[in-house]
Structure 1
Amino acid sequence: MVTTLSTPRDGLPALCTTPSQLRKAERTLAKGTGAIAVDTERAGGIRYNDRAFLLQLRRAGSGTVLIDPEPHREVVGPALEPALSQTTWVLHDAATDLPSLYALGLYPADIFDTAVAAKLLNITPYRLPELSAALIGYTMHKSHGGEDWSRRPLPKAWRNYAALDVEVLLELAQACQKRLDAAGKSQWAKEEFEFIQHKATPLAPPRWEDSKAANSVSKPQELAVIRALWHHRDALAMAMDVAPHRLLPDKAMVAIATKRPRSVSQLMRLSAFPRDLRGHAGEWLNVAQAGIAAQPWPKRPRRQSTISASAWKKRDPSGFERLLAAETALEQVQADINVEADTLMSRRTLRKVCWACIHQGEELEQALDQTLLRPWQREQAQPVFRAAGLC
């Protein structure tokens, strides 16, 4: 029998917004025991960056605490650090939450990721409501995930939704750990958790070179236009605290760079240029033209790439057969060890390793060093590499 939670079992906690309330929340958490369930709500598609606008924390003996970091963002880290820094955090899909938590100056002793545990156990779907229902008999209503979490005041229904995200997370982690132990996968999980924890970084300033628009053009003069438009858009977005794509979509930047309009009327005729920006068309045209005038024009950085499957098959049929043998072996090994697809290794990673060994003459260990595969993955993937004749 599955119980659906519509409200927190202990009632909806108050929202902590002031420095004194933050310090009281830390003392409350410090009185608890064991790991702390942690979640965030962000507004990256609406605001300039993906910072946290709500923190949800829960610990045995402490209950749930809701934190609004926005009014006193610089205080949150120092206020909560004593309770959080020496403790295991339990998260669901930690890679999405950790950057915003690190940006607040909050770092865990270590983590447990229930979504990653589910993938290692090949339990699907691994969304929090379904996973909780399958393992501990609880699920929850999830109806406010796409809200603008920067809105203030936060509606009570939204806070209720957010509190439920950590309501059963500690119990779920215990159930996952038991299954990992029984399956002999606890070490695998430990390596995955450490990798996620140390790979995550605080919210980094974006770079124009990494934008979708920059990767959609190739000519130097097109890149020059993208660079100018991106920097202008970024400065405006930062000042307005708005997601950059809401000011000028990437597809509009690409259209301007490739079509090179010479007048406002030509710019406004571009189908990708938003109608609601027509009053600012002259501004964006001037920015694009200034980009062309700025010398030197940037060049697309040369990126190491792997040949496509079709080109590989045509160029080297025998080598391609070795890749196919490795891909077949990968499917079999993942089935044998019972992990979700791509958890052991993605096909893209496998192709890179095979290409490096077969066509670039690298030793297998040398090729593997260019990947981010963890020790457990390297060990379990040995049959895959043998199938390709790499070892």
Structure 2
Amino acid sequence: MTDYRVIDTPEAFAAAVDRIADGDGPIAVDAERASGFRYSQRAYLIQLFRRGSGTFLFDPPALGEFDRLQELVHHDEWVLHAASQDLACLREVGLDPDRIFDTELAARLLGMQRVGLAAVVEELLGVTLAKEHSAADWSTRPLPQPWLTYAALDVELLVDVRDRLAEELVAAGKAELAAQEFDAVLHREPKPATNEPWRRLSGIHALRSPRNLAVARSLWLARDELAVERDVAPGRLVPDSSILTVAKAMPRSRRALADMKDFNGRASRSELDRWWKAVEAAIQTNDLPAARVPSDAPPPPRAWAARNPEADARLRLAKEAVAEIAEEYGMPVENLLTPDTLRRVAWHPPVERDAAAISAALAEHGARPWQLEATAQRIAEAFSEAAQSILDAEDSAS
């Protein structure tokens, strides 16, 4: 078994970059975070493999910057599995590719039933990868050798997987559309930060009173402040369920809060003064949050039939058309066209309902050229059929 070493000094980093320069071909890259353990989403280990160079395991906190590596390899193709999960933490340390090949996305576009890395490697290469360390705390130092072996295997077979998938994309006539999808992932704008991140609390929709919501908000903000201070995942301090329990119960004293058995978590008692201060402030504040947040998104589709029968008909017929096209392409519906895009265009269709207008509307929501070519005409036909069905129903009623 190979004994892997973590590159955590400037001298070792410089030597690794020299070896990477001697290799050739695509660069396989992966990153390990400490999600569920740490507050930040930073990379605690970055793995890289290149044919002719070997495997490299970098320690980002110890190294700090990766400028020389970025300068060397940014123009090469980087191979990642589920690239959208790793690009942000790679960019945080200055690693940003010009082009990528996403093996998970390629597997989806090819209609593979299982697209996790282990499943794809097994199907294409006949090699079984153990995934027992996937949820490990990668901020641990020193990292155990079995973890390093696991991390290395995540990239050592990735270029071989890439080559097999590339062959199958060409054979299926999907190489160009895959290139468009890879480019879309690479250049996708990050979602803007929400003004009220506390509303992401699991179960928040069960709270309807502004005062209860104020308690949930105050506790969430207090927990987030402590989580940042300690660099600990917020849920490890006090879980969401505990915050919701307190927000529903509205305890009126520190003692009442302390007596709540369902208010748990490793910091629920050690930081009791902090939590009671948050509850007390929320009970007294006049700055109450709105019970509902305005949204530009369409209403839930189950409400469309009553609120907008023609939009309901448009969505129903267009979904059928898109599902048929996805089956023809041999890929999941969501990879052909996202459900959110279809809903938005069905709810607010363009004035003109021809294929060109539908195509423009879809493009405004981020649909790629291949998706427009595949779906716009059929969606336009579905919209026309929906309008006619409403007219026919009105004629029958009169």
1:196 aligned residue: 185
CA distance in 1, matches of 2:127, 2:3: 18
C-alpha deviation, 1:121, in angstroms: 0.8
Task: Structure 2 unaligned segments of length 5 or more: list them.
Answer: 386-398
2:174 aligned residue: 185
Query: What amino acid is the match of 2:219?
Result: L
Could you tell me the TM-score, scaled by structure 2's length? Answer: 0.86
C-alpha deviation, 1:62, in angstroms: 0.2
- Structure 2 residue matching 1:381: 3-state secondary structure: helix
Whether the 8 Å CA contact 2:341–2:362 is kept in 1: the answer is: no
1:57 aligned residue: 48
2:38 aligned residue: 47
Superposed counterparts of 1:140-289, under 5 Å: 140-199=129-188, 208-209=196-197, 211-213=199-201, 216=205, 217=207, 219-270=209-260, 272-274=262-264, 276=266, 277-289=268-280
1:368 aligns with 2:331: no
C-alpha deviation, 1:190, in angstroms: 1.1
Q: Which of structures 1 and 2 has the larger relative contact order (alpha carbons within 8 angstroms, sep 6+)?
A: 1
1:380 aligned residue: 374
Aligned mate of 2:332, from 325, 340, 343: 340
2:305 aligned residue: 313
Task: Structure 1 unaligned segments of length 5 or more: list them.
Answer: 1-6
2:62 aligned residue: 71
Report which stretch shifted further, 159-168 or 292-301. 292-301
CA distance in 1, matches of 2:70, 2:259: 54
1:351 aligned residue: 343
The 1:315–1:224 alpha-carbon spacing in structure 2 relative to 1, beyond 3 Å, is: closer
Report which stretch shifted further, 361-370 or 62-71. 361-370
CA distance in 2, matches of 1:130, 1:298: 45
C-alpha deviation, 1:211, in angstroms: 4.3
The superposition leaves residues 201-229 of structure 1 with CA deviations (integer Å, 9 ceiling, x where unpaired) of 59x98864364229534554444433432
Whether the 8 Å CA contact 2:359–2:372 is kept in 1: the answer is: no
C-alpha deviation, 1:325, in angstroms: 1.6
CA distance in 2, matches of 1:116, 1:323: 26
Whether the 8 Å CA contact 1:99–1:200 is kept in 2: the answer is: no
Whether the 8 Å CA contact 1:120–1:343 is kept in 2: the answer is: yes
CA distance in 2, matches of 1:282, 1:359: 58
Report which stretch shifted further, 60-69 or 175-184. 175-184
2:320 aligned residue: 328
Aligned mate of 2:7, from 1, 16, 19: 16
The superposition leaves residues 263-308 of structure 1 with CA deviations (integer Å, 9 ceiling, x where unpaired) of 1233245454116523433320112222444554444541123223
Runs of 4+ in 1 over 6 A off after TM superposition: 204-207, 358-362
- Structure 1 residue matching 2:30: 3-state secondary structure: strand
Query: What amino acid is the match of 2:30?
Result: D
Query: What amino acid is the match of 2:228?
Result: M
The superposition leaves residues 109-155 of structure 1 with CA deviations (integer Å, 9 ceiling, x where unpaired) of 21100110111111121122221232233332222111111111111
1:102 aligns with 2:94: no
1:88 aligned residue: 77
Query: What amino acid is the match of 2:150?
Result: Y
Q: What's the Cα RMSD here?
A: 2.8
Report which stretch shifted further, 329-338 or 193-202. 193-202
Whether the 8 Å CA contact 2:350–2:361 is kept in 1: the answer is: no
The 1:164–1:87 alpha-carbon spacing in structure 2 relative to 1, beyond 3 Å, is: same
C-alpha deviation, 1:369, in angstroms: 4.3
